[in-house]
Every structure is written in C-alpha cells, then in structure tokens.
Amino acid sequence: MKLGLKLLQERAKTGSFWWPYISSLPETFNIPIFFPGEDIKNLQYAPLLYQVNKRCRFLLDFEQEVKCALENLKPNDHPFGGQAVDASSLGWAMSAVSSRAFRLYGKKLSGEINNDVPMMLPLIDMCNHSFKPNAIILQDQDDRDVTMLVKVVAETGIKQNDCLVLNYGCLNNDLFLLDYGFVIPSNPYDCIELKYDGALLDAASMAAGVSSPNFSAPSPWQKEILCQLKLDGEAPLLKVCLGGSELVEGRLLAALRVVLASDMETVQKLDLDKLKSISVEAPIGIANELAAFRTIIALCVIALGHFPTKIMEDESLLQKGVSDSTQLAIQFRIEKKSVIIDVMRDLTRRVKLLASKETATAQG
C-alpha cells in the first residue's frame, strides 16, 4: 500500500506535479471489492469470495491504523492535507495501483540482485492486455546515473490505429478480475481451486465406479508419498487445481494414481515427477489410470454441482441486460464452469483412448 498512500498524498496536494496524471485516473473501479453484495454472491466461487472478503477486511483494518496514525497530527503535518483517509479512498488507491502499476526493478541489492518495486507509468498504463502482445516494456538504468528510462518497444509490426498491447502476466481469471476488473474468455491459464479432501475423493471415486477407495485412510506407504506431495503430514498444502496449463495439477494426479494403486513395489520404483506428469501415460497401468481419470471426472461433476446456476441460465441473464458488475460476475462464473467442462472433455477423450487400448490388449 506504500504506492497507494503516495498516490492519495499526491491527489490531496495542491499543485502536485502528478495532478494531470492523477486526474486522468478513473474515479471508480469496477472490481469485486466495490461490487454490491448481491454481485459478490453472483460470483458463485468460494476461493474468489474468500479473496474479496480478505481484501475488504484488510482495507477496514488499515483504515483504523491510518486514523490512529493521523489523529494527533497538526494540520501542517498532515500528509493528506487534512483530508479523511477511509476504507473507500484506500480501496480506490489500492485498485489504481493493482490495475496500473508495473513491477520493475529498483535499487540494486547485494551482488547483481535488483529490488523489484511497483511503479506507476503514465501513458504506458493505457496499454491493454493480451497473451499475444505486440509490445514489451524495457527498463534501462545507468549504474552511474539515478535516471531511469522506461519505454515500450514494439515486438512486431504495428499498423496505424492498432492498439499497443502488453502481457500483464500468465494469470488466471481470479487475478484479472480482482486486480484489473475484467475476465479473459477461454483463458488458457484459468483454473479451478479445490481442496484435497479424502472424504470428497472417496465419494468421487465411488461415483466413478471404483470399489472401496481409501483416500480417507491411505496405507502407510501411500501416506508417505502423500507427505512428499505436501498433501498429508505437518502443514500440508491442500489446495489443488484443475485446468490451466497442467490440466490436472501434478500433485493431485500423483495422489490419485498412488492411492488407487495396490502394488506398492511398482509405485515405489517410480519417481514423483513421473507420477505427477499427465504426459506419462499410465505409469502404474491402464486400469489405475482409468480409475484416476474417472475419479477426476466425477470430481468435476461434483464441482459443477456447487454452482447454483447452469451456463445456459447465465447466458440468458446476460442477454436480458444487467449492470456492469453483474455482467462481470456472470462472465466470471461462466468461465469457471467452462474450465471444469473442458477438463471433463479432455479426460473423457483420454479415458476412451485408454479403454480402447485395454480392450485391444485383452483381445490380443
């Protein structure tokens, strides 16, 4: 929030050098922390709701800290010209910084390491996002001179009237919506967060036709591997993802392969990288792979069921005309459901191929 506080300070300062730039910034930002309560619910996705609530709590707590720091100051010492700094103005500043600041390198630390710092770059911050950018940001700084040069350089031929676009990062739609206020359709980096839960996986596995799964009570040797995957033991990292560049997060895939396996010796001969890789086909055997994929498909069905509306209903709502925040919330949840459906389609295709190989092997 340092940069955000500096932004508020310059906005309050009479005759600020930065006023022409600050006055061009949006007065409001259409991001979830400013959504009406109903549209926050309309997101229908617990991990994002958690992040929105976390940011709102931070702003309310930070408001109290700022008030305590300012309450006994003399008017001439007030860093914001006597203007009140509340959760709303702090939210505006945080939104301006998160949607416009670029993380560039600052002063050099020990050795050749630079201290990355967020910087607001007037004019450059008008460039929109694309995963296929036509320009990049370059930063030059002479070690003998404190002057820093930041410039946008074309990477391809740019025609007249074409927009300059930069890649804001390989981010999922959670971050694009939280920080920038937009959603990328068919975002290749979008994913669904799930909690690795033994009871949930047992239910999914049984729904997939696996008899007597033991995710809730893995064998000691399975538990040992789960600990290596940080899915068991002390301080486990239970958040796993579906979708994105991996399709199925490697830790989740490895866990399914291991817990659904019965041959300890075969599993222990394999390294974790092979167990985690979806490109390594059926490392423990076709039957094991089919059980793992079918369990994930069932897990997807359960995840879809947690959304109170279907995609067709969402699209129908958009056609009726809604507010900007409602539109964003609906678009966001459509994309999340689409991620789940895409994972199901991909895994269903893999299941069919594996099943045909299993049949051919049995007949041969």
User: Last residue of some domain: 75, 101, 127?
Assistant: 101
Kindly state whether residue 25 falls inside one of the protein's structural domains. yes
At 73 the pLDDT is 86
Kindly state whether residue 147 falls inside one of the protein's structural domains. no
Range with the lowest mean pLDDT among 22-26, 75-79, 85-89, 102-106?
102-106
Shared-domain flag, residues 74 and 196: no
Read off the CATH number of the domain in which 233 is found. 3.90.1420.10
At 179 the pLDDT is 95
Shared-domain flag, residues 333 and 214: yes
Read off the CATH number of the domain in which 26 is found. 3.90.1410.10
- List the domain range (segments joined by +) for residue 5: 1-101
At 75 the pLDDT is 83
Shared-domain flag, residues 93 and 213: no
Stretch 221-235: mean pLDDT, rounded?
Answer: 95
Q: Does pLDDT of 102 surpass 80? A: yes
At 336 the pLDDT is 98
- Among 97, 139, 135, 88, which residue's Cα sits nearest to residue 114? 139
Stretch 256-274: mean pLDDT, rounded?
Answer: 94
At 114 the pLDDT is 61
Kindly state whether residue 162 falls inside one of the protein's structural domains. no
At 150 the pLDDT is 87
Kindly state whether residue 120 falls inside one of the protein's structural domains. no
User: Using CA atoms, how far apart are residues 199 and 32, in angstroms rounded to an integer?
Assistant: 32
At 144 the pLDDT is 55
Shared-domain flag, residues 225 and 351: yes
Kindly state whether residue 201 falls inside one of the protein's structural domains. yes
User: Last residue of some domain: 101, 123, 154?
Assistant: 101
User: Using CA atoms, how far apart are residues 91 and 112, in angstroms rounded to an integer?
Assistant: 35
pLDDT in tens, 133-186: 999 998 876 555 567 788 899 999 999 999 999 999 999 999 999 999 999 999
User: Last residue of some domain: 56, 77, 101?
Assistant: 101
Kindly state whether residue 210 falls inside one of the protein's structural domains. yes
User: Using CA atoms, how far apart are residues 247 and 71, in angstroms rounded to an integer?
Assistant: 52
User: Using CA atoms, how far apart are residues 123 and 245, in angstroms rounded to an integer?
Assistant: 32
Domain count, the chain: 2
Res. 115 pLDDT band, cuts 50 70 90: low
pLDDT in tens, 292-302: 999 999 999 99
Kindly state whether residue 150 falls inside one of the protein's structural domains. no
Shared-domain flag, residues 202 and 347: yes
At 325 the pLDDT is 96
Kindly state whether residue 127 falls inside one of the protein's structural domains. no
The model's pTM: 0.89
Shared-domain flag, residues 239 and 350: yes
The encoded tokens of residue 167 equal: 């890649």
Q: Does pLDDT of 360 surpass 80? A: no
